Amino acid sequence: MLAANANYIIGESDNLEVSIWGEPTLSRQVTVRPDGLISLPLIGEVKAYGKTPVELQGMIEQALSKYVKDPKCVVIVLEPKSKQIYVDGKVVNPGQFVLDKDIYLSQVISLAGGFTEWADKGSITILRTEDGKRTPIKADYNKIIKGKIPDIKLMPGDTIVVP
């Protein structure tokens, strides 16, 4: 669970809790739809995608002020589902992981249980989508852990392939 974090950008599929102080019938858990909107009582559709929790709080409070005297809202990111990374190939536990904070390649390998016996640690590929184009980034884990090259910060949607 992430509290109202000024740096977190809400994305598609994120699960949010919207709490309106003193108005339990207006408070609820919502999921950001593929169109970037959430639905709330009284105010209807609100664009959540691309906003921080604090920005969304302000928008909700402003919209509710037509119906509720001095509304106080809190938005909590319960599950940052829009921030996923994927690990595939010769790791112990390949799969999907939530990117709920800054994380680097060496850390994700640990999350995936480490390498299997025959993994090629020097030929890892990170597939990253930028401007709608999938770009491979080569990584040498051996050089990273020896400090010869910098660790690679991962981005939402990255797929790490360990041959």
Which residue reads 């919209």 in tokens?
63
Give the C-alpha separation, 114 to 123, whole Å. Answer: 15
Quote the pTM value. Answer: 0.71
Q: What is the pLDDT of residue 4?
A: 45
Q: What is the pLDDT of residue 100?
A: 75
Token reading at 136: 């491979």
Could you give the C-alpha distances from 134 to 4, 58, 124, 161, in angstroms and in order? 31, 35, 16, 14
In a structure prediction context, what are the per-residue pLDDT tens digits for the chain, which is 163 residues long?
444 456 788 999 999 999 999 999 999 999 999 999 999 999 999 999 999 999 999 999 999 999 999 999 999 999 888 889 999 999 999 999 988 788 999 999 999 999 999 999 999 999 999 888 999 999 999 999 999 999 999 999 999 999 9
Query: Which DSSP string corresponds to 38-83?
Result: EEETTTEEEE-TT--HHHHHHHHHHHHTTTSSS--EEEEEEE-TTS
Q: What is the pLDDT of residue 27?
A: 96
